[in-house]
């Protein structure tokens, strides 16, 4: 952009942003632009965000803009010099204030650091709230845990099928009809409930897959294999895999009374019989996943240099190694506190397995979002995105944790 109209060695401009919905040829209040004398030469950068953004900034008593401009940001850096208000008024350009100038002053976009601070605060507040609610649901177990999981599965399935129908994915394939997507979302929500009451899910998944396949094959028009494959993967990814959390939490009812917490578990919360291997394994697994995500984020921010994969460019090998260490350390610490599993080697293997499952689930969801051309799977949780954005690390981990505890730990690790 040509900036010859601006005398860069004389003035200093503070950050100025204009809202995207600004009327053409509307006035701008002089209060939005502060001009001060500056002794040293400053650096001026004009940036325009948005497609086909055209901005003309002549240095005179006019400030004109083209209609399709989006955001104008003026950033200047120089040594600060103090001037009195009279000099500032003399140096500042006189701009006619139109009838909408006051409204535009109120709509000035906040600076980027303020936006980041507000976003971080929102993430922390809602993250703590979600953690407290999830902890209460896990401790309750039974139907409360299952119904809460079913609700999350339903919302996650809706987000998945909306991603499948997005322009980025649908351009290369034919998505399933909307009524099939809604039926699949409902089936996914019913799977955890069926798992709780029947103890297994194989027959339900097979029956659901058969019904969905027949509905797609008998639809009007020309059925496509892409419709069948995306619908089947949705049933597997959003319905079948989360059911293993029900089998882990509610199916492993062997008492885990090696720790003082188990032997003195309050009667109000179910008594000693409520402190089971399923509860302890679920607590350690969820805590390990949270630790893996947290340490991977901090490690990537601090030491991240080598990209991990093209699927998610922000992930680095340094962050992954840090997350792995934090995940295993958390599993070992909790195993010593809860006295499960009794072997430290088993606890380390359990932490490693949780990290692999969380990382794999995160990458799968990142791949889906990348093909869909979106940043978040939804906007349900302020500051966090959608349900899939928060639960992607848990999708595959439940199945791996249950298989490890059920098959590889003798007497379920007790």
Max avg pLDDT among 46-55, 85-94, 283-292: 283-292
Q: Which CA distances in Å does 309 have to 157, 358, 364, 412? A: 26, 15, 12, 35
Residue 107 pLDDT exceeds 90: no
Predicted local confidence at residue 112, as pLDDT: 63
Mean pLDDT of 300-304: 90
Question: Is residue 116 very low, low, confident or very high in pLDDT (cuts 50, 70, 90)?
Answer: low
Over residues 239-262, mean pLDDT: 90
Largest CA distance in the chain: 84
Give dist(CA 380, CA 242) in Å, integer: 20
Mean pLDDT of 370-376: 85
| More reliable by pLDDT, 403 or 273 | 403
pLDDT in tens, 27-70: 444 433 333 333 334 444 444 444 444 444 444 444 434 344 44
Burial of 295 (0-12, 13-18, 19+ CB in 10 A): buried
Is 99 a residue whose pLDDT tops 60?
Answer: no
Q: Percentage of residues in the chain with pLDDT exceeding 90?
A: 38
d(CA 375, CA 28) in angstroms, rounded, equals 34
Structure tokens at 357: 């499952």
Mean pLDDT of the chain: 76
Q: What's residue 265's pLDDT?
A: 84
Per-residue pLDDT at 337 exceeds 50:
yes
Q: What does the block give as tokens for 404?
A: 């490890």
Please indicate whether residue 115 or residue 412 has the higher confidence score (pLDDT): 412
Reference 277, options 305, 256, 262, 301; nearest CA is 256
Per-residue model confidence (pLDDT) at position 138: 93
Distance CA(181)–CA(86), nearest Å, equals 66
Q: Where residue 248 falls among pLDDT bands split at 50, 70, 90?
A: very high
Find which of 7-11, 226-230, 384-388 is predicted with most confidence, using mean pLDDT.
Answer: 226-230
> Does pTM surpass 0.85?
no
Q: Give the pLDDT of residue 371.
A: 86
Sign of CA dihedral 123, 126, 130, 132: positive
What pLDDT, on a 0 to 100 scale, did the predictor assign at position 55? 42
More confident residue, 32 or 209: 209
- How high is the pLDDT of residue 64? 39
Q: Where are the domains of the chain?
A: 11-109, 115-413
- Of the spans 8-12, 23-27, 79-83, 261-265, which averages the highest pLDDT? 261-265
Question: Mean pLDDT across the stretch 165-178?
Answer: 80
- Split at pLDDT 50, 70, 90, the class of 98 is very low
Encode 220-252: b = buried (16+ Cβ within 10 Å), e = exposed: eeebeebbbebbbebbebbbbbbbbbbbbbbbb
User: Residue 73's beta-bridge partner residues?
Assistant: 17, 47
20 pLDDT exceeds 60?
Answer: no
The answer, yes or no, to whether residue 354 has pLDDT greater than 90, is: yes
Q: Which of 312, 39, 371, 337 is nearest to 175 (CA)?
A: 371
pLDDT at 26 over 90: no
Mean pLDDT across 314-324: 94
pLDDT at residue 102, rounded to an integer:
44
The confidence score (pLDDT) of residue 68 equals 41
Phi, psi of 100 (to 5 degrees): -100, 10
> If you search the block for the tokens 């293997």, which residue do you land on?
349
Q: Quick one: tokens of 354?
A: 């949780």
Structure confidence at residue 390 (pLDDT): 87
Say if residues 340 and 258 touch (Cβ distance below 8 Å): yes
User: Using CA atoms, how far apart are residues 381 and 130, in angstroms rounded to an integer?
Assistant: 9
Residue 324 or residue 312, greater confidence: 324
| pLDDT for res 120 | 67
* Residue 127 confidence (pLDDT): 74
């Amino acid at each position: 952009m040509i900036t010859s109209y601006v005398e860069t060695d004389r003035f200093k401009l503070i950050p100025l942003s204009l809202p995207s919905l600004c009327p053409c040829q509307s006035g701008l209040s002089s209060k939005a632009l502060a001009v001060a004398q500056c002794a040293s030469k400053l650096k001026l950068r004009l940036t325009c965000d948005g497609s086909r953004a055209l901005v003309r900034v002549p240095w005179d008593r006019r400030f004109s803009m083209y209609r399709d401009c989006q955001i104008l940001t003026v950033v200047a850096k120089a040594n600060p010099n103090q001037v009195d208000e009279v000099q500032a008024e003399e140096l500042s350009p006189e701009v006619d204030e139109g009838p909408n100038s006051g409204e535009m002053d109120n709509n000035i976009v906040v600076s980027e650091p303020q936006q980041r601070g507000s976003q971080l605060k929102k993430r922390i507040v809602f993250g703590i709230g979600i953690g407290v609610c999830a902890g209460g649901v896990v401790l309750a177990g039974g139907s409360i845990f299952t119904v809460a999981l079913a609700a999350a599965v339903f919302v996650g399935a809706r987000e998945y099928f909306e991603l499948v129908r997005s322009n980025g994915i649908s351009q290369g394939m034919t998505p399933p009809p909307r009524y099939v997507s809604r039926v699949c979302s409902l089936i996914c929500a019913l799977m955890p409930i069926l798992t709780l009451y029947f103890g297994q899910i194989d027959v339900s998944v097979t029956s659901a897959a058969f019904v969905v396949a027949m509905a797609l094959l008998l639809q009007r028009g020309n059925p496509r294999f892409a419709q069948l494959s995306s619908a089947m993967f949705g049933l597997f990814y959003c319905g079948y895999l989360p059911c293993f959390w029900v089998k882990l939490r509610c199916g492993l009812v062997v008492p885990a009374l090696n720790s003082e917490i188990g032997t003195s578990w309050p009667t109000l919360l179910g008594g000693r019989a409520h402190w089971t291997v399923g509860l302890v394994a679920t607590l350690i697994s969820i805590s390990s996943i949270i630790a893996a995500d947290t340490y991977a984020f901090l490690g990537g921010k601090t030491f991240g240099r080598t990209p991990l994969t093209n699927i998610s460019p922000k992930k680095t090998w340094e962050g992954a190694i840090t997350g792995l260490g934090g995940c295993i350390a958390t599993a070992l610490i909790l195993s010593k506190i809860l006295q499960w599993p009794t072997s430290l080697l088993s606890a380390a293997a359990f932490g490693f397995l949780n990290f692999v499952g969380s990382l794999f689930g995160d990458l799968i969801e990142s791949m889906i979002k990348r093909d869909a051309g979106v940043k978040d799977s939804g906007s349900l949780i302020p500051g966090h995105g959608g349900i899939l954005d928060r639960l992607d690390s848990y999708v595959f981990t439940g199945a791996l944790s249950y298989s490890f505890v059920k098959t590889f730990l003798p007497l379920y690790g007790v």
